[in-house]
Every structure is written in structure tokens, then in C-alpha cells.
Structure 1
Amino acid sequence: MTADIKAKSEMLNFETLPLDHILKSRGWMYNFLAKYFYKEPDFKALEKLMENNLFQTLKELGEDHEGIKILADFIHKSPKLSDEEKLSIKRQYETLFYGPGHLPAPPWESVYRSDERIILDEHTLAVREFYRKWGVKLSEEDKQPDDHIGLELEFISILNKRTIEALEESDIEKAKEILNGQKTFLEKHLLIWIDEFCGMLKDNVNIDLYKGMALFTPYYLKMDRHILEELITQIDEFQK
């Protein structure tokens, strides 16, 4: 799996595909995942995604990953969801991530990295410190512990946006620093627990939105790590 993911990331032609396009595509993906892991679905926003459905674009380009196909089709069908289907999706979100009661796939990093399976431990504090180091303040709406999956993905999205801004200002060194920050956060946090979290999620879903996200998220984060490596290498070559 890892070799296949690395190969697919290397299929991106970094010499001809505009860097701006790569970074904006990353932003689209991280914004989508952060939003729909953190809050119950906004169906009007889902319908708007049809105008720029990156999952559909990947599917049409021949990407055969099951999660991509499921999410592409779900977004495409979202305008036709019945009120009953929308209610089922909202209930699934509450069951998975909000409660009350036992959560089948707790969305906090600390649960997967502590022997006691608890939240708000040293892993949460380490994530908070990472945010502080980069001067990032995340969503205050329905405030969750800092290591919530949605907030960690939002953090990457924010740094990705800063990378774009640095490049627009021709600050190559700053852009490389921010890319390295994203890579470090993936390696020290998200990639450590994403497989277990999404595995538990996949085993407890019957809604395509969350099934697709459970399948796609680990795949994408692993591929994105290689994309970041390639981008950093390209900048290093440019600076020589």
C-alpha cells in the first residue's frame, strides 16, 4: 500500500503542474475533511461542491480508489437527498462523533495514543503546543479538545494557505519552512493514529459520506506526505 501511494504521488508532474494548483487542491481536500469530521453535514454547502467536485475530477482522471468513488458519487447525488436521508446522515454523525453514550470511533488523537484511552492528556497538550508554535487559533465553535481530527486537519489547511501566501510574496524560504511544518505535523500526529481511527469508523458506518471519508482519509494523508516531500525537494532544487 505504501509503495502504491508513493508511486501515485510521484505521478504528479511537478515540473508542468502549477504549484499553485497543487496547493489549492490540497486546501480543497483538507477543508472538506476538516469540515465534515468536525460538524454535522451542511447540505447546502455539499450541493455547492458539485461545481468543483475534486473527487469527481480524480474519478474521471482514472483514480480507482474506493473512497474517492464513494465521495464523488455522494456529492453528485447530494441535491437529491430526501429529508429522511438527510436526517439519517445527521443521526449517524451524532452517533459517531458526538453522543450521548459510547462513541464507536472517538475523534481525538489522545484516545489512540494513551494506554488508558482517555482524552486531554499529554498528546492533546503536544498538539496544542504545535498550534501555538505556529500562531494558529482554531475554530471556537462547539469547542473540542485540540487533538480532534477535524481541528488537526484544519490546522494543515491553515498552514497550506500560508504556504500559498508566502509563494505569492516570493518568500521561498518561508514557504519551505511551512511545508516542513505540515510534514512534521503529519508524521508526529495525524499519521500515527489515522489508520486506527478510520478503521474503527469504517466498521461502524452505513452512510456513504462517512464510509468514503473513512476509506479516503488515511490514503490521502499518506499520499500527501509524499507530495510534501516532493514540493520541498523542488524548492531545494530551485534554490540551488
Structure 2
Amino acid sequence: MINHDLLAFYQAQANILYHALYFEPGDYLLDQLRDIEVWDSWPQSGEPELRAQGLARLQECLRQDNATLLTQLKPDFTQLFVGPQMPTALPWGSPYLHEKRLLCGPSTEALAAFMNHYGISVKTDNKEPIDHIGLMLSMVGQLFGKEMQDKDGVHLGVAKALLEQHLLPWSGRFETLMLEHADSGYYQGIALLTASVLAGLKSDLELNPVSLSLYQ
């Protein structure tokens, strides 16, 4: 079984990526990443080459002051995840898993049932679909925190099922699109770090993601 120090590392990484992927970029997270010198303090878990590449891109971007950097990051966030045109890296799982690329499709309903069964809850903005990758990473972090508290393997088992059944089947395609379409080194770095963390979890937790057809 994965040791709890490694679980704590993954929890911290998942929580940072949740904030980076889900919320519009702002001063607070950028300042926090600089304050902790994230390029040196990022946990040494995950796939190492992707991690190193992602942190190098973040370090380069964070040399700029916030006013300069945010003029790049806000439009990048919008074109990647929001619109008004079709986002270039849709952050929700359902369009990847539904042949008509629908939001809130059967995979979203399956995730909602999974969350209800295991008592998982998340706070969303503006009735956001719950299969947003940032929200799903927050669920993973939440479950890891409960596992470290209870130490009974139950919450870890739920996290593994969440990853295998609901996130990993489509996250690789999301990471590819995000890296391909991001205009800023910051969001390229976040894409690489997301890929590093999920690849590391797949290996360290010995996960076997379900194989599903992708339409995005």
C-alpha cells in the first residue's frame, strides 16, 4: 500500500492543480507559488521528466511581475477552458466520452451517482458540471486527506475507483490538448504537472483505468 508521506505529497499537488485549473488566474496563487519557490519545493512524486519540464516552465513565467503575467494568463485561461468560442481544452469529462460531445452526459451522471454513494461533495461555481478536471482533482485530494486521518484503506480505495473509472479514461487527452493549445508557459507547465501527477498515481497506486472510446 502507498505510504502516507507519498499520499500527502499527492494531496498537496492535487490541491494546487485544482486551484490552477478551476479558478481564473489571480494574484493570490501566483504569489503563493513564488513564496514557496514551487520550482524547488514541489514534491518529488509523479512522473519525473514531466514534472521537471512543468516546473521549469512555471519558474520562467513566475519571473515576471503579476501585472505583466496576468495580461497573458487571463486570455489563455479563457480560450483554453471557457470560451466564448469552443474552448480548446475542454476541462469536463463528458464531451470526451460522449459521441455527441455533450456536457452533463451519461458519464457525468455516473460520476454524480458515485459521489452520492460515497458521500463526496464539492463546491462549484455557477452550477459547474461536476466532472471538471479541477474539481475531480479536489475530490482526490479530499479522499487522500481522509485516508491519512482514518488510515483504514477505505478512502484510498474510493480514490482509486474515482481515478480508474471517472478521471484517467479521458485525462490524457485533456492534458495533450491543454499543452498543445496553451499560449503561456504557465499553462503549459500546469498541463505537464497534471500529466506528471496522474501518471505517478497510476504507477504508485497500480491503477488499471477502464478503456473508453474518446470523441474529443
| Aligned partner of residue 65 in structure 1, secondary structure | helix
CA radius of gyration, larger in = 1
Task: Tell me which residue corresponds to 1:43.
Answer: 27
Please give the alpha-carbon distance, in whole angstroms, between the structure 2 residues aligned to 1:43 and 1:76: 17
| Aligned partner of residue 203 in structure 1, secondary structure | helix
Cα pair 2:172 2:195 within 8 Å, conserved = yes
The gaps in structure 2 that reach 5 residues or longer are 208-216
Of 1, 12, 36, the match for 1:28: 12
Task: Tell me which residue corresponds to 1:191.
Answer: 168
Deviations 1:103-135 (A, max 9, x none): 111111011111111111110011111111221
2:96 maps to a residue whose letter is Y
1:195 maps to a residue whose letter is G
Mapping 1:125-144, distance limit 5 Å: 125-144=109-128
Task: Tell me which residue corresponds to 2:99.
Answer: 115
Higher helix share: 1
Deviations 1:164-223 (A, max 9, x none): 1113xxxx3xxx111111111111121100111111111111211211122232332121
Please give the alpha-carbon distance, in whole angstroms, between the structure 1 residues aligned to 2:129 and 2:17: 17
Provide TM-score, normalisation by structure 1: 0.76
Task: Tell me which residue corresponds to 1:227.
Answer: 204
Provide TM-score, normalisation by structure 2: 0.83
Please give the alpha-carbon distance, in whole angstroms, between the structure 1 residues aligned to 2:52 and 2:58: 10
| Aligned partner of residue 142 in structure 1, secondary structure | coil
Please give the alpha-carbon distance, in whole angstroms, between the structure 1 residues aligned to 2:43 and 2:124: 35
1:118 maps to a residue whose letter is L
User: Is 1:217–2:201 an aligned residue pair?
Assistant: no
| Worse overlay, 108-117 or 65-74 | 65-74
1:65 maps to a residue whose letter is E
1:86 maps to a residue whose letter is L
Alpha-carbon shift at residue 73 of structure 1 (Å)? 5.1
Deviations 1:74-130 (A, max 9, x none): 257536425232121011001111111111111110111111111111100111111
Of 143, 147, 157, the match for 1:163: 147
Alpha-carbon shift at residue 227 of structure 1 (Å)? 2.1
Alpha carbons of 1:42 and 1:148: their partners in 2 closer, same or farther (altered >3 Å)?
same
% identical equivalent positions: 25
Q: CA RMSD in A?
A: 2.7
Please give the alpha-carbon distance, in whole angstroms, between the structure 2 residues aligned to 1:75 and 1:137: 33
| Worse overlay, 50-59 or 204-213 | 50-59
Alpha-carbon shift at residue 60 of structure 1 (Å)? 8.7
Please give the alpha-carbon distance, in whole angstroms, between the structure 2 residues aligned to 1:69 and 1:56: 13
Q: Report which structure shows greater RCO (CA 8 Å, sep ≥6).
A: 2
Alpha-carbon shift at residue 24 of structure 1 (Å)? 1.8
* Number of equivalenced pairs: 206
Please give the alpha-carbon distance, in whole angstroms, between the structure 2 residues aligned to 1:20 and 1:153: 18
User: Is 1:182–2:162 an aligned residue pair?
Assistant: no
Alpha carbons of 1:82 and 1:156: their partners in 2 closer, same or farther (altered >3 Å)?
closer
User: Is 1:81–2:65 an aligned residue pair?
Assistant: yes
Please give the alpha-carbon distance, in whole angstroms, between the structure 2 residues aligned to 1:33 and 1:155: 12
User: Is 1:152–2:136 an aligned residue pair?
Assistant: yes
Alpha carbons of 1:50 and 1:25: their partners in 2 closer, same or farther (altered >3 Å)?
farther
Deviations 1:20-69 (A, max 9, x none): 422221111100111111111232233223444555246999x8524434
| Aligned partner of residue 62 in structure 2, secondary structure | helix
